Structure 1
Amino acid sequence: MSEETHAWQMVEYEGFEIHTSPRPKQPDESRFTYLGYVCHPGADPALPGHIVPFHADGEESFASLADALYEALHAGRSIVDGTHPDLSVLGLVTGGV
């Protein structure tokens, strides 16, 4: 399955957008993972510095697309809230993007 075939979903949260794409971990498996990014509303994700990308950790997988989506939104919210252990929106805020 190509990258373009995975649907992206967006939710607004605390003045940011959280974009998520739950997807099968492998095309022939029944486990799921996710990709995502946080940005300001209307930001161009193709431009450097306009997003904070995130994804499920290495071997982490979920039993359903709904579970993967739930975890992706949780990760995105933690980035916005400043509680994620590794990622922050501080660069988006201080960079003027």
Structure 2
Amino acid sequence: MSDEHAPWQVVEYEGFEIHAAPYAKEQHESEPQRPPGPYVYVGYVCHPGADPAIPGHAVPFHADGEETFATLEEALAEAIHVGRSIVDGTHPDLSVLPLVTGGV
């Protein structure tokens, strides 16, 4: 399943929305057939009602590198944790500051 078809979950946090979508990592043709998983995630943080397709209206994030999770629930929990760290200002690389200072 690609991230376009992943089941999006929305969590409100500190005046922002965290949108997260866990999904099974795609299997390469060279790999032997396996059950679904491991799982990864994509997500973004935005103001309520913002359009993430408009540049500057959202802060996107995703699972780093080869980071994977055993279940959809674990991937979703980590995505929400990362989204909260972005809002809280504790994420090492991402911030909602452009959303706040940009008036979006």
Structure 2 segments unaligned to the other structure (5+ residues): 28-33
What letter is aligned with 1:81?
Answer: D
- If the length of structure 2 is used for normalisation, what is the TM-score? 0.88
Q: In the aligned structure 1, how far is the partner of 2:100 from the partner of 2:84?
A: 15
- Asked if the contact 2:86–2:95 (Cα under 8 Å) also holds between the matched residues in 1, the reply is yes
- The partner residue of 2:66 within 59, 63, 73 is 59
Q: In the aligned structure 1, how far is the partner of 2:51 from the partner of 2:9?
A: 15
Aligned partner of 1:92 in structure 2 is 99
Does residue 5 of the first structure (1) align with residue 5 of the second (2)?
yes
Q: CA-atom RMSD, angstroms?
A: 1.2
The count of corresponding residues between Structure 1 and Structure 2 is 97
Q: In the aligned structure 2, how far is the partner of 1:77 from the partner of 1:37?
A: 11
> Per-residue CA shift, 1:42-83, capped at 9, x if unaligned?
001110100000000010000000000000000000000000
Question: Cα distance, 1:2 vs. partner?
Answer: 4.1
Q: In the aligned structure 2, how far is the partner of 1:14 from the partner of 1:46?
A: 22
Q: In the aligned structure 2, how far is the partner of 1:73 from the partner of 1:20?
A: 7
- If the length of structure 1 is used for normalisation, what is the TM-score? 0.94
> Per-residue CA shift, 1:1-39, capped at 9, x if unaligned?
344421111010000000000000125552000000000
Aligned partner of 2:57 in structure 1 is 50
How has the CA–CA distance of structure 1 residues 73 and 3 changed in structure 2, closer, same or farther, with 3 Å as cutoff?
closer
